[in-house]
Structure 1
Amino acid sequence: MYKGVALSILASVSFGILYFYTQFLSPLDSEQVFAWRILATLPFLIAFMYWAKDLKLVAEIFNRVRQQPILLIWLLYSSMLCTSQLWLFMWAPIHGRGLEVSLGYFLLPLVMVLMGCVLYKEKLSTWQMAAVALACVGVGHEFWRVGSLAWETAYVAMAYPIYFFLRRTFKTDHLGGFCWDLCLILPVALYLTLRSGNSFAVIAQFPQLIVVVLGLGLLSALGLGSYMLASRYLPFVIFGLLSYLEPVLLAFASLALGERIQAEEWLTYIPIWLAVGLLVMEGALYLRLQRRNKAELARNLDHYQQRLND
């Protein structure tokens, strides 16, 4: 579980940096940025999988497709669910819709927690129930304030839980499945690099974009790879609750890019930030307890060994 928590935090930090990073990709438009993100992420992802000896997972899925060709339908749907979220993630800050998407990431963990409790019968601790209650206050206030949800918010909140649930159901919840998601969208990515002015010509005109695009690929591979692995190692409820760190960072990145939280919106964000704080406190207390238990176990073993020697 420690590994899953660390991976989830690493993913959230990477996504927060990536959200702010989009400003350096001008004059590429949002579709071209999405396309280059796919093209630049794949080499880093494949290199990481080679280092981790996980490339066999890609071959395993290929063999499953050969035996059950109907599985390809799921893989295409999985690719659509995943990469449409990647497109929206890059499109939003460029078009001034970053806060709407970040609110979707605020709502996402609640949906994940609900799915974990209903579908997997997972239980919440007292701290986690308090965090969920605070998050519900924030999200509920937003419903009351706006009267509806922006389509960006709704899509983020609903599509990702379906994606992660189906990945577990079809047993593609590993980096091999994610690699297939990216590979299947490659034709679309290549098309987008060539349309609306040909992004290759833009990059040739602004050669510094080569370094920026490579950085985009590295950050994406780090964030997305960590996120996919965390979804595998963590219970659905814990994975959902830890996801609250990401929208906090995305909101800060949106503010750094010039968007503003209005006075009437603070009651949405403050309870959710408090919910994140509760989860951090619970995690810190849990780690402290684990260290104490390990130290006590070590002392007992030493005492037992000393008695045997005597």
Structure 2
Amino acid sequence: MTSGTLPAHTAGRGVAVSLGASLLFAVIFLIAGLLPGWGAEEIFGRRVVLTLATLSCILPFLPWARADARALAVRVRRRPSLLALGLVAAGLVAVQLWLFMWAPLHNMALSVSFGYFLLPLSMVLAGRFFFADKLSVLLKLAVAAAGVGVIHEAITAGGLAWPTLVVCLGYPVYFVLRRKLGFDSLAAFAGELLLLLPLGIYFIVVGPHGIAGSGSSGPGGSGGIWGALSIGVLGGLAMALYLLASKWLPLSLFGLLGYVEPVLLVGVSLYLGESLGWSALLTYGPILLALFLLCVDGRRSSRPLGE
């Protein structure tokens, strides 16, 4: 059975969990922006600890996740040097997790959202350069259209904001490294969080709210404690749903639904008080056209022969 001929009930579940994951990531982004008086580092620490705890409760009940964990353990046991490369991957994803918390607290949510809009295109280029993927005519047109939007943004804003660059350039490096190492699984992500656990605990201990949430009075007080805790739990659930969607959906449909998240992040950014002028149409318009072309190409390439 090909990815393009999955049973309707499986595809339906895949769509539901993909949309659920995108919604949870947007909720995390919103909660982080509504925690005045909290530092991104402390929120990051709680997210690492609680996301790891949540995954520890979920993974044992997923047969494919248990198989991935066993395979990962065998590989690391045979090649202990993989731990060093895993630490590099953990460092790369740590930057992204921290930035996702920092941006909405510092009026940079739109910059991060723009980075997520560019990410699919930067992943296409990464596949071309690191894995010799061939670019179809539609993919070349998509890259060109995205280039128009990027150039316009760079000219009007005096250059791309550094959070945008961290997302659209940093994530491809992270994903390429994971693919090269064979660490492309939810179990591997849990392993990366395990490596980040000491750092997460440190940020919690030195943070103003401490381990038990002491010092929770004032802005972002007791309500902020629950917000920070929910970010960690929702992060674990979102990653589990995201991986389930990748297994249940055809690649083209999975990619298409992945574009729901940056749209939601832009909505969250506007809700938090940032604004877009009319000139943004010349930035986001070509980007949306590029994403549309990318979806069409993915749909065509995933069709079974003879369809």
TM-score (norm 1): 0.78
Question: C-alpha distance in 2, partners of 1:199/1:270?
Answer: 45
Tell me whether 35-44 or 73-82 shows the greater mean CA deviation: 35-44
The corresponding residue for 1:251 is: 266
User: Which residue among 25, 32, 36 is the counterpart of 1:22?
Assistant: 32
User: Which residue among 148, 153, 156 is the counterpart of 2:167?
Assistant: 156
**TM-aligned CA distance change 1:218 to 1:243, over 3 Å:** same
Counterpart mapping for 1:262-277 below 5 A? 262-276=277-291
Question: C-alpha distance in 1, partners of 2:222/2:157?
Answer: 43
Question: C-alpha distance in 1, partners of 2:196/2:76?
Answer: 17
Is 1:138–1:270's contact at 8 Å kept on the other side of the alignment? yes
Tell me whether 77-86 or 60-69 shows the greater mean CA deviation: 60-69
User: Which residue among 52, 55, 58 is the counterpart of 1:45?
Assistant: 55
Is 1:32–1:192's contact at 8 Å kept on the other side of the alignment? yes
The corresponding residue for 1:180 is: 191
How far the C-alpha of 1:46 sits from its partner, in A, is 1.9
Q: Which has the larger radius of gyration?
A: 1
Q: Deviations over 1:201-240 (max 9, x none)?
A: 5457344445434432232113233445666888999877
The corresponding residue for 2:180 is: 169
- 2:230 is aligned with 1:219: no
Kindly report the root-mean-square deviation, in angstroms, between the aligned alpha carbons of the 2 structures.
3.5
TM-score (norm 2): 0.79
The runs of 5 or more residues in structure 2 that have no matched partner are none
Question: C-alpha distance in 2, partners of 1:116/1:256?
Answer: 35
Structure 1 residue matching 2:231: 3-state secondary structure: helix
The number of equivalent residue pairs is 289
Question: C-alpha distance in 1, partners of 2:174/2:256?
Answer: 17
Q: What amino acid does structure 1 have at the position aligned with 2:96? A: Q
Structure 2 residue matching 1:172: 3-state secondary structure: coil
Is 1:110–1:241's contact at 8 Å kept on the other side of the alignment? no
Question: C-alpha distance in 2, partners of 1:101/1:234?
Answer: 27
**TM-aligned CA distance change 1:155 to 1:230, over 3 Å:** farther
Q: Percent identity?
A: 38
The runs of 5 or more residues in structure 1 that have no matched partner are 294-310
The corresponding residue for 2:155 is: 144
Structure 2 residue matching 1:188: 3-state secondary structure: helix
Q: What amino acid does structure 1 have at the position aligned with 2:239? A: L
- 2:273 is aligned with 1:261: no
**TM-aligned CA distance change 1:281 to 1:75, over 3 Å:** closer
